[in-house]
Chain A
Amino acid sequence: MTVQGSIKGALLAALLLFAGAGAKFAHAEMQGVSDDAIKIGMHTSQSGPIAVFGLTYERVARLVFDEVNAAGGINGRKIDLIVEDDRGDPGAGVAAATKLLDRDEVALIYGGPYTPVALAVFPRVIDRGVIYWSPAASTPTLTDPFRKLTFQAQMTLDDQAIPVAKLAASFSPSKIAFVRENNEYGTITHEAVVAELAKYDLKIDVEETIDPGAVSAVAQIAKIKEAGADVVLHGGTPKALSHIIREAHKQGLTAPMISFGGGSSDAIFELVSSEAPIEYYAVSPLACQLGDACTAEFMEKWTARYPDQKPLVWTAQGYAAAKLFVEGLRQAGRDLTQEGLIAAFETMPEFSTSEIPYPMKFKPDNHRAINGGYLDGFKNGEHYFFGDSIDN
């Protein structure tokens, strides 16, 4: 070997060593990533006031991730989903995220649906320089103002207020009542709907609140009826909503009721289509009624995996969001870093799924992937679905 050849060999060896070290450094930069797995930490409400939503997002994440793993994983790595119960309680949510980050050393947090919990958890996650990726939380604060480390593949409450106000306005109401739950979710829905109603020169005339753990809504409905409201809007969760619906039916309140997404649950739809048949609508993120053609692929897979569990509209939305998440991971390539992953989500092309009406897309200055949604509901026992044109 000549001197020149030796130098070339040494340079090549150094380069290879450097490249190897670089690759190792890149792996080391993102905790929770090993040669054959990526740990994803999820906090969700397996119990508490919105367990019905929390569980559905967990189940659908497992459905999608297990399918990906069965097909060989993403860029040679399996997804290792570690789930902690946030109990629908902000303190428990923070504890869950801390455990996921410190003990399980997950690569990122895949967030749960409950607004008060998401609001408490996400600042602590991004303060650690870790991505908070939410398929479920609808609070606009997650991505507005813009934050580099938060991603949201869910209709925000701002977006949900658009169809709520549009349908309310279509009734040409003389008085609008709003019942909000005593928590951040209720407050944000209230602010969002006030802003949207203003676009139709409408305002809320009757303001009522309800505790998420209330056992009756008799006083609220009596006051709304006495005030003569002809449309009732609702921002809250199913348990308290069931009292509102039962009381409205009992006291003969004929005003249509329109709820944000928190009112879209199987138990509520069962209630309004059977023993409390009031006119009721709730926001849906789907392109069609659940069970119709746009959700055929999802329904087939869901039924095969969870034959005893009825899906919600949010389950199908969670399915679309999980597919988007997987695609972003895939586009980030094998050398995963937080920066690389952020860039991959921001630059990935529009992602279309049959379940969601519009293509999903993150942008470098906007980390909300879903914009716009529809309404699903019941009137005289008939199921109605409102797409882009809302006309009662």
Chain B
Amino acid sequence: MLSQVLVNGVVIGCIYALIAVGFTMIYNATETVHFAVGESVMIGAYFLLTFWIVWDLPYLVALALTLLSAGAFGYAVYDRMVSRPLMSAGLLPRVVGLMGMAAIMKGLTRIIWGADAYHLPSALSTDPVRIGPIFIVPQEILIVVVTVAIIGLLFLFFQHTKLGTAMRATSQSRRAATLMGVNISVVFAATWVIGTILSAIGGVLLGPLLLVDPDMGELGIKSFTAAVLGGFGSLPGAIVGGILLGVSENLVAGYLRADWQNAATFVLMITVLAIRPTGLFGKPDKARV
């Protein structure tokens, strides 16, 4: 049972990590705690459901449209409507603005798609594959592969592209980056677009393992926990935090009690923060100049 529990923990942890990476990117660049990240996961699943199942488009076309729509949504709604108008207003108004946007998105989802839960099929075979004592379905393998691939691509993007370098520079010091000629508006827009696409990929990958409904964004809070656990603002921390969270949840359910699962998540976070207040990979706060 241990291997089965561990593998499943890694699968779920990959989803948490993927969403937490987008969350962390947005925080680093814009200093905004993205409390609507779960709703971005939700719209990813709903977009795919609409394009693929309702409109009956080929899967890859539907997937491309889903990611494009998510990116456009991230730019138009999060960046232009919420984040940028509130940029000079401080952290709290932006957080409240995003929480409000999350509530609006849930409400609109109910109006557009209804509150019913939908079964989003997997594009892959649903027959389980047996690897020794472990059973796994192709969708779960896909989750791990896609997560690893995206993290690799993000690494290359941050290290080897001009925009990636600009985003890193902005996360270090917005003022210094501006003085060095970085177009902050472009960096913000790119961050919201990429962050929302990452969350939407989380929804696309997770949708076939859940029922799709307007409340599926509630798992956004888990990604927030993962980001805190890993060290707020640290991309490697978000990845490790997500996987650690997924594995620990499953271990608690498997070897202690399933109804302790949620409580254990927060016990783990509090324990880590008590020992290391900056999280696993976080650095102590430095005054930004």
Taking beta carbons and an 8 Å cutoff, which residues of A are in contact with B? Answer: 46-49, 51-52, 54-55, 182, 208-211, 213-216, 218-220, 222-223, 226, 238-239, 242-243, 246, 249-252, 265-267, 270-271, 274-276, 309
Instruction: Tell me the B201-219 residues at the A interface (CB within 8 Å).
Output: 206, 209-211, 213-215, 218-219
Q: Say whether, besides A211-B259, A218-B5, A276-B126, A47 and B115 are in contact (CB < 8 Å).
A: yes
Are B213 and A239 interface neighbours, CB within 8 A?
Answer: yes
Picked from B5, B106, B126, B258, the residue with its CB within 8 Å of the CB of A211 is B258
Q: A222-B4, A267-B119 given as contacts; is B259 within 8 A of A252 (CB)?
A: no
Q: Contact check, B215 vs A47: say whether CB atoms are below 8 A apart.
A: yes
* B 119-152 binary contact with A (CB < 8 Å = 1; else 0): 1011000101010000111000000000000000
User: Contacts A47-B214, A223-B1, A252-B128 hold; do A209 and B122 have CB atoms under 8 A apart?
Assistant: no
In the complex the two chains form, what is the Cα distance from A211 to B110 in whole Å?
Answer: 23
Q: Verify B12–A219 contact, CB threshold 8 A.
A: no
**Known interface pairs A222-B5, A238-B211. Does A250 touch B259 (Cβ–Cβ under 8 Å)?**
no
**Given A208-B258, A209-B258, A226-B1 in contact, is the A216-B250 Cβ separation under 8 Å?**
yes
Q: Most chain-A Cβ atoms within 10 A of its Cβ — which of B136, B210, B257, B258?
A: B258
Is B262 a contact partner of A211 (Cβ separation < 8 A)? yes
Cα distance A251–B137 when bound, in Å?
Answer: 9
Chain A residue at smallest Cβ distance from B114: A55
- What is the CA–CA distance of A275 and B8 in the complex, to the nearest angstrom? 19
A51 B213 Cβ-Cβ under 8 A: yes
Q: How far is the CA of A219 from the CA of B1 in the complex (A)?
A: 8
Q: Let me know if B115 and A55 touch, CB within 8 A.
A: yes
The answer to whether B126 and A239 have CB atoms under 8 Å apart is no
The interface of chain B, by Cβ under 8 A from chain A, is 1, 4-5, 8, 12, 106, 110, 114-119, 121-122, 126, 128, 130, 135-137, 206, 209-211, 213-215, 218-219, 222, 249-250, 253-255, 257-259, 261-262
Chain A residue at smallest Cβ distance from B261? A211
Complex CA–CA separation, A309 to B210 (angstroms): 20
Question: What CA separation (Å) do A218 and B1 show in the bound complex?
Answer: 9
- Whether A265 lies near B117 (C-beta < 8 A) is yes
List of A residues within 8 angstroms of B1 by Cβ: 219, 222-223, 226
Chain B contacts of A246 at CB under 8 A?
137, 209
Select B8's contact among A55, A218, A223, A276, beta carbons within 8 Å.
A218
> Which of A46, A216, A243 is most buried by chain B, counting CB atoms within 10 A of its CB?
A216
Q: Which of B117, B249, B258 contacts A52 (CB 8 A)?
A: B117
Query: Cβ of B4 and Cβ of A49 under 8 Å apart?
Result: no
Q: Is the CB of A242 within 8 A of B211?
A: yes
Q: A47-B214, A216-B249, A266-B116 are in contact. List 17 more A-B contacts (CB 8 A).
A: A46-B115, A49-B215, A51-B115, A51-B213, A216-B209, A218-B4, A219-B253, A222-B1, A222-B4, A222-B254, A238-B211, A243-B210, A250-B137, A251-B128, A265-B117, A274-B121, A309-B114
Q: Which of the residues B12, B116, B136, B219 comes within 8 Å of A51, measured between beta carbons?
A: B116
Could you tell me if B122 and A275 are in contact, using CB atoms closer than 8 angstroms? yes
* Contacts A/B (CB < 8 Å), 11 sampled: A51-B116, A52-B115, A215-B210, A218-B5, A219-B250, A222-B5, A222-B254, A226-B1, A243-B210, A251-B128, A267-B116
Of all chain B residues, the one with the shortest Cβ separation from A274 is B121
Q: Could you tell me the distance between the alpha carbons of A148 and B114 in the complex, rounded to whole angstroms?
A: 36
**A265 — which chain B residues lie within 8 A by C-beta?**
117
User: How far does the alpha carbon of A214 sit from the alpha carbon of B213 in the complex, in Å?
Assistant: 14
Q: B residues within 8 A CB of A211?
A: 258-259, 261-262
Cross-chain contact B259 with A215 (CB below 8 angstroms): no
What B residues does A52 contact at CB under 8 A? 115-117, 213
User: With a CB–CB cut-off of 8 A, which chain B residues contact A216?
Assistant: 8, 12, 209, 249-250, 253
Q: Which of A226, A239, A250 contacts B136 (CB 8 A)?
A: A250
The CA of A208 and the CA of B260, in the complex, are separated in Å by 12
**Contact, CB under 8 Å: B135 / A219:** no
Inter-subunit contact B135/A182 (CB<8 Å):
no
Nearest B residue to A56, CB-CB: B116
- State in angstroms the CA–CA spacing of A48 and B84 once bound together: 31
Could you tell me the distance in whole angstroms from the C-beta of B42 to the nearest C-beta in chain A? 13
- CB <8 Å contact, A219 and B258: yes
Q: Is the CB of B135 within 8 A of A250?
A: yes
